[in-house]
């Protein structure tokens, strides 16, 4: 924790407020502090539309493949990275600045990170591949704590991608919770495009879901088949295999506490 002498007056005031609230007095306006303020002021969280009912197991899979764990995030992902391939500069829990629109980036991150950092991150919008690799070095001072990354992921990013998943695969909300979350993971990782040689399986999944009573084994087989696209990337192959396994075994009984509205 920084000494009092190195903190700005605003950060010092925030630490005093945090101490009064009984939360970690780190001088950062994160999700823990905001939740404590909402509770103290009796402010109810805003209601929002729900697109999917995903299982906690499937959402944990997304986090696992994006950052592995909180401990790994703190070591490797607090600052912008370039994951490789056609990715852009990536922040938080797999949030790709390169392929996300500027309006969406502002909506997701404004108020959570410093405005100066947000403006600099916006310069990376639309830049992918090797150009993003070069750019990420100039953004190495942007620091996003895990609690901020986690809050944006669950409150903003996942609902956005759940909406995209439901729009891409009409009827997906009728599938079991593991399957809904696995397809959310797929869209989170690959986007929504369904045309082209590399999108054959994704288009086939749409037809399978739309065709009456969806067959989970057939959907899972299409996800498994996508491994052909990454012969030298075992991480992506494993992700597709894990998603396929979730879908294949999704027809089970769920406890109420393991189904999450997204």
Domain ends where: 112, 144, 176?
A: 144
Question: Does some domain include residue 230?
Answer: yes
Whether the CB-CB separation of 89 and 132 falls below 8 Å is answered with: yes
Tens digits of pLDDT across the chain (262 residues):
555 566 777 778 888 888 888 777 877 776 567 767 767 777 665 556 789 999 999 999 999 999 999 999 999 999 999 998 889 999 999 999 999 999 999 999 999 999 999 999 999 999 999 999 999 999 999 999 999 999 999 999 999 999 999 999 999 999 999 999 999 999 999 999 999 999 999 999 999 999 878 999 999 999 999 999 999 999 999 999 999 999 999 999 999 999 999 9
C-alpha Rg value of the chain to the nearest Å: 20
Domain ends where: 117, 144, 171?
A: 144
Question: Does some domain include residue 24?
Answer: no
The reply to whether the predicted model has a pTM over 0.85 is no
Are 104 and 165 in a shared domain? no
Question: Does some domain include residue 217?
Answer: yes
Are 137 and 174 in a shared domain? no
Question: Does some domain include residue 241?
Answer: yes
E strands along 65-140, which residues? 90-91, 95-96
SS3 assignment, position 183: helix
Burial call 178-215: b when 16+ CB within 10 Å, e when fewer: bbbbbbbbbbbbbeeebeeeebbbbebbbebbeeeebe
Are 173 and 138 in a shared domain? no
Place of tokens 């830049």: 127
Pairing of strands 95-96, 90-91: antiparallel
- What confidence score (pLDDT) does residue 212 get? 78
The CA distance from 20 to 41, in Å, is 13
- What confidence score (pLDDT) does residue 47 get? 57
Are 171 and 237 in a shared domain? yes
Domain ends where: 144, 166, 191?
A: 144
Q: Please report, for residues 27, 123, 137, the alpha-carbon distance to residue 8 in angstroms, rounded to integers and kept in the order given.
A: 9, 27, 27
Are 220 and 171 in a shared domain? yes
Question: Does some domain include residue 85?
Answer: yes
Question: Does some domain include residue 86?
Answer: yes
Are 117 and 172 in a shared domain? no
Question: Does some domain include residue 189?
Answer: yes
Range of the domain at 89: 79-144
Are 124 and 168 in a shared domain? no
Are 129 and 181 in a shared domain? no
Are 131 and 198 in a shared domain? no
Question: Does some domain include residue 68?
Answer: no
Are 121 and 169 in a shared domain? no
Are 134 and 169 in a shared domain? no
Q: How many domains does the chain have?
A: 2
- What confidence score (pLDDT) does residue 12 get? 84
């Amino acid at each position: 924790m920084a000494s009092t002498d190195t903190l700005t007056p605003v950060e010092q005031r925030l630490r005093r407020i945090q101490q009064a609230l009984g939360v970690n007095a780190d001088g950062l306006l994160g999700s823990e502090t905001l939740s404590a303020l909402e509770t103290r002021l009796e402010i109810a969280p805003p209601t929002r539309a729900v697109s999917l009912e995903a299982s906690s197991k499937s959402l944990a899979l997304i986090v696992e493949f994006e950052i592995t764990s909180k401990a790994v995030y703190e070591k490797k992902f607090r600052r912008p990275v370039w994951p490789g391939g056609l990715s852009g500069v990536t922040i938080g829990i797999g949030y790709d600045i390169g392929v996300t629109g500027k309006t969406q980036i502002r909506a997701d991150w404004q108020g959570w990170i410093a405005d100066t950092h947000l403006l600099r991150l916006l310069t990376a919008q639309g830049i992918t591949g090797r150009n993003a690799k070069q750019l990420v070095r100039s953004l190495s001072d942007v620091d996003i704590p895990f609690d901020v990354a986690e809050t944006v992921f669950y409150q903003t990013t996942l609902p956005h991608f759940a909406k995209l998943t439901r729009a891409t695969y009409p009827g997906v909300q009728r599938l079991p919770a593991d399957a809904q979350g696995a397809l959310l993971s797929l869209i989170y990782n690959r986007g929504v495009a369904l045309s082209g040689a590399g999108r054959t399986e994704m288009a086939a999944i749409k037809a399978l879901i739309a065709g009456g009573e969806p067959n989970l084994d057939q959907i899972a087989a299409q996800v498994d088949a996508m491994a052909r696209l990454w012969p030298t990337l075992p991480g992506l192959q494993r992700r597709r295999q894990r998603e396929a396994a979730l879908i294949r075994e999704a027809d089970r009984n769920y406890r109420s506490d393991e189904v999450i509205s997204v």
